[in-house]
């Protein structure tokens, strides 16, 4: 589904496929796959509806929270999970450390029992070697973008608006502005693949403001259809953009995202 070798070229410093790097700024851990498989808390888990495989899956996995705690992460931190292909999911550490909501697990692909390809007929790559999966994702409204696979690195980072001021809406907007709510939707659903104003962690999809914002060349009803079901407008076997159902992105949230995109069309970087 996503291109591994291009990523290895575009992301210098990523560790190899058999190693996980965890860095919180003060503590740096490098965990090899055999060590993860033999972790004291590793066990087999069943995922009833796996986001990547669209069917039930069983994995050998380690709870995610102890790994973050071992590296010194706190609930107030922001976590960036970087995949081998450049996909970059930014999540609040509180979600990954929460013991009362959805349960995050790091699934580990055994060498002797490889997982199937994520996209049959594609490049044959699986979700391995490491994959963030969730038990009871509905408890914390975990979205598909929060299931990153082919994980190589986990970093503590500053908040999005601190790292990338070019993404932030105008400071004069009210705290309860729909544009600000749309900015939160952009961070949650779009930043894993897209930049905006050439700012962001990912490099999978096109920039959403430079040179043109999609609200400038697509009428809003069609842009909403594109987000809801990309293949209904642009049928392409190698398409990577997922569909966003109302269970993932409500109508209110979609409208907020539209407001943010329209607003940012007036705030292009030069």
Summarize the confidence of residues 210-239 as an average pLDDT.
87
Question: Helical H runs in the chain?
Answer: 4-10, 33-37, 64-70, 93-97, 160-163, 178-189, 214-217, 220-228, 251-264
Q: Pick the range with the lowest mean pLDDT from 17-21, 39-43, 60-64.
A: 17-21
Task: Name the band, by pLDDT with cuts 50, 70 and 90, for residue 122.
Answer: low
Coil/strand/helix, residue 8: helix
pLDDT given at position 191: 87
Of the candidates 90, 77, 263, 262, the residue with the CA atom closest to the CA atom of residue 189: 90
Q: Is residue 137 over pLDDT 70?
A: yes
CB atoms near residue 53 (< 10 Å) = 18
**β partners of residue 267:** none
Q: Is residue 103 over pLDDT 80?
A: yes
Higher pLDDT, 24 or 247: 24
The whole-angstrom separation of Cα 250 and Cα 159 is 24
Higher pLDDT, 200 or 17: 200
Query: So where are the chain's domains?
Result: 4-157, 161-264
Please state, in angstroms and as integers, the Cα–Cα distance from residue 248 to each residue in 147, 221, 242, 245, following that order.
13, 18, 11, 5
pLDDT given at position 1: 34
Q: Is residue 13 over pLDDT 80?
A: no
pLDDT given at position 6: 34
pLDDT given at position 204: 78
Instruction: Write the pLDDT tens digit of every residue in 59-71.
Output: 999 999 999 999 9
Q: Is residue 9 over pLDDT 60?
A: no
pLDDT given at position 59: 97
Summarize the confidence of residues 114-121 as an average pLDDT.
83
Q: Is residue 259 over pLDDT 70?
A: yes
The secondary structure of residue 199, as a DSSP letter, is B
Task: Name the band, by pLDDT with cuts 50, 70 and 90, for residue 86.
Answer: confident
Higher pLDDT, 87 or 114: 114
Which of the listed CATH numbers 3.40.109.10, 3.90.420.10, 1.20.140.10, 1.10.3720.10 matches domain 4-157?
3.90.420.10
What share of the chain in percent tops pLDDT 70?
Answer: 91
Q: Is residue 145 over pLDDT 80?
A: yes
Q: Pick the range with the lowest mean pLDDT from 15-19, 61-65, 251-255.
A: 15-19
Which of the listed CATH numbers 3.10.129.10, 2.60.40.420, 3.50.50.60, 2.60.40.1180 matches domain 161-264?
2.60.40.420
What share of the chain in percent tops pLDDT 90?
Answer: 66
Task: Work out the mean pLDDT of the chain and round it to a whole number.
Answer: 87
Summarize the confidence of residues 200-217 as an average pLDDT.
90
Coil/strand/helix, residue 203: coil
pTM above threshold 0.85: no
């Amino acid at each position: 589904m996503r291109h591994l070798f291009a990523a290895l070229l575009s992301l210098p410093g990523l560790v190899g496929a058999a190693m996980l790097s965890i860095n919180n700024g003060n503590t740096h851990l490098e965990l090899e796959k055999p060590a993860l498989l033999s972790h004291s808390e590793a066990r087999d888990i069943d995922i009833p509806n796996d986001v990547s495989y669209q069917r039930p899956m069983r994995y050998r996995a380690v709870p995610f929270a102890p790994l973050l705690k071992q590296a010194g992460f706190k609930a107030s931190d922001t976590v960036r999970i970087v995949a081998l292909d450049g996909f970059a999911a930014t999540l609040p550490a509180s979600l990954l450390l929460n013991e009362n909501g959805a349960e995050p697990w790091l699934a580990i692909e055994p060498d002797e029992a490889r997982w199937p390809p994520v996209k049959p007929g594609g490049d044959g790559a699986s979700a391995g070697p490491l994959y963030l999966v969730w038990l009871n994702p509905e408890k914390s409204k975990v979205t598909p973008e929060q299931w990153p696979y082919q994980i190589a690195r986990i970093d503590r980072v500053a908040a999005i608006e601190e790292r990338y001021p070019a993404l932030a809406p105008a400071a004069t907007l009210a705290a309860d502005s729909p544009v600000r709510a749309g900015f939160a939707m952009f961070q949650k659903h779009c930043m894993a693949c897209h930049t905006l104003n050439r700012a962001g962690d990912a490099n999978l999809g096109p920039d959403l403001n430079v040179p043109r914002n999609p609200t400038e060349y697509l009428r809003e009803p069609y842009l909403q259809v594109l987000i809801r079901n990309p293949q209904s407008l642009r049928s392409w076997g190698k398409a990577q953009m997922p569909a966003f159902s109302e269970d993932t992105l409500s109508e209110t949230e979609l409208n907020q995202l539209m407001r943010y995109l329209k607003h940012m069309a007036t705030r292009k970087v030069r």
